[in-house]
Amino acid sequence: MADDKDPESKTEEATPRKLEDARKKGDVAKSPDVASALSLLGAAAVLLCSATSSFALNTATIISSTLSPDCLEYRVTGICYWLYCSLSGCSVRTSIKVRHYVPDAVVSSYSNTGQNPWIEVRPMSPPTPSAQAGGDGTTNEDHENNLAKFKNADVIGHPGGQVFSQFASASGYICQGAGTAFMPYLLSTFDTLAWRYNMPEAVYPESLIPGMREIGTRTRLNLWGNVYPRGGFLHQADDYKAGAVVAQRAGDVVTRRGQLHVYQPLMANARDGYWPAGALIESDASTGKWQRLTPRLSNTCTVFPHAGHLPQAQQGDYAWALWRPYSCCQRRGQVFLGSVDFN
C-alpha cells in the first residue's frame, strides 16, 4: 500500500550532526546572531532614552543655570546704620548695603495641557475636566485665523536656591529671595475661569484701552503683545513671542497681591535692612528679568521684548527663570537707623 503522506512533511530526530548541517545551510538561528540582535535592540533603547532626555528640561539643568554672573548682577549700593547697645553703652555701627538678583521661580509657558517642559513637576498640572487641550487655534486651513494661540502657564519655585547661595556668597553678603523651591505659585489648569475665559479681566481698562500694559511698542515695531487680559489666549504669529507674553502675564499675577486668580503671591515682606522685590513690570529690568531655560538654555538675562534670535520650540513649550532684584544689609545692631545709597 502506497504511503499517502508527503515525504517533506516527515520529521526525523534532530541528531547533532543534522543540526550542524542545518546551521551550515542557515536553517537554524545561531546563538551569536540572537545575541547581536538583542544588543542592537538594547542600544536602540538607550539611544531613544538619551535623545528624549537631551531635549527635556530637568531639575539638574535648572539648578546649574543659576551660575550666571550676568543674571546675578551683584552691586554694593550703600551703607546701613544700626544702633547697637550693650551694658557698656550704645554705639552706631555700619554695614554695606548690597543689591542683586535672585532666581525666584521657573515660569513655564506651553501649548499642550499637562505637558510642562520641566519634567519633574509635570504631574503638578495635569489636564482636568475644565482644562484640556490647547495650542494653536487652527488646523492650517487657508481660511482660518492662524494667529490665535493658547498656552498654559505654571509658576513654580526655583530649585537652585542652595547652589545659587554658594555662588552668590563669593561676591559678599547675599539677600534672601521670596521663592520656595518647588512651591506652585500659579498652575493655570486650576485657574480656569481667569485663564481660559478671561473673567473678569476682559473688561478691565488695561484690556480695553490700546497702548496700556503692552510688551513693546508700535512705534518701534517691536510689539509682542498685551499683558491684559492675563490669560492663555492671544494673537501672535511667532510662537516664541507668544510664549514670552504668556510668561510675562503669569509673572505679573504672582508678583502682586489680591488678584482675582487662583494663585499664591510670590512676595516677601520688607523688614529692617531688607528690601524685597516688588511688582513685575514689563520691559523694566529694575523689577525683574528673564533667563531662557528651554528650548535653548541661555547664560544671560533679558527683558521682553528683546532683539536677537528667537528659538522656536517644536512642541510649543518654553520656560524661563524669573530673576528679581533684592537689596539688604547685614544686621549689626538692635535698632535700624536707616541707609544711604551711593547714587
**For the residues 246-255, what does the mean pLDDT come to?**
98
Percent of the chain clearing pLDDT 90 (strictly above): 76
Question: CA-to-CA distance for 291 and 300, rounded, in angstroms?
Answer: 6
Which SS3 state, helix, strand or coil, does residue 169 take?
coil
Q: Among candidates 314, 323, 238, 335, which has minimal Cα distance to 288?
A: 323
Cell of 84: 547697637
Position with higher pLDDT, 94 vs 22: 94
Percent of the chain clearing pLDDT 70 (strictly above): 80
In this structure, of 12-16, 59-63, 259-263, the range with the lowest mean pLDDT score is 12-16
Q: If you write DSSP's letter for every residue of 316-340 in order, what string do you get?
A: SEEEEEEEEEEEEE---SSEEEEEE
Position with higher pLDDT, 126 vs 47: 126
Pairing of strands 233-235, 225-226: unpaired
Confidence of residue 140 (pLDDT cuts 50, 70, 90): very low
Res 53: pLDDT: 38
Q: Among candidates 320, 339, 318, 343, which has minimal Cα distance to 329?
A: 339
pLDDT at 209 over 70: yes
Res 322: pLDDT: 98
Amino acid at 327: S
Amino acid at 98: V
Domain ranges within the chain, ordered by starting residue? 60-341
Output the CA torsion sign for 285, 286, 288, 294.
positive
Res 13: pLDDT: 53
Strand partners, 271: 274
Res 253: pLDDT: 98
Q: Among candidates 106, 107, 115, which has minimal Cα distance to 134?
A: 115
b/e code 67-105 from CB counts within 10 Å (16+ = b) = ebeebbebeebbebbbeeeeeeeeeeebbebbbbbbbbb
- What pTM was estimated for this model as a whole? 0.81
Res 147: pLDDT: 73
Res 38: pLDDT: 35
Q: Among candidates 96, 70, 98, which has minimal Cα distance to 275?
A: 98
pLDDT at 178 over 60: yes
Res 99: pLDDT: 98
How remote is the C-alpha of 102 from its chain's centroid? 15
Output the CA torsion sign for 261, 266, 269, 275.
negative
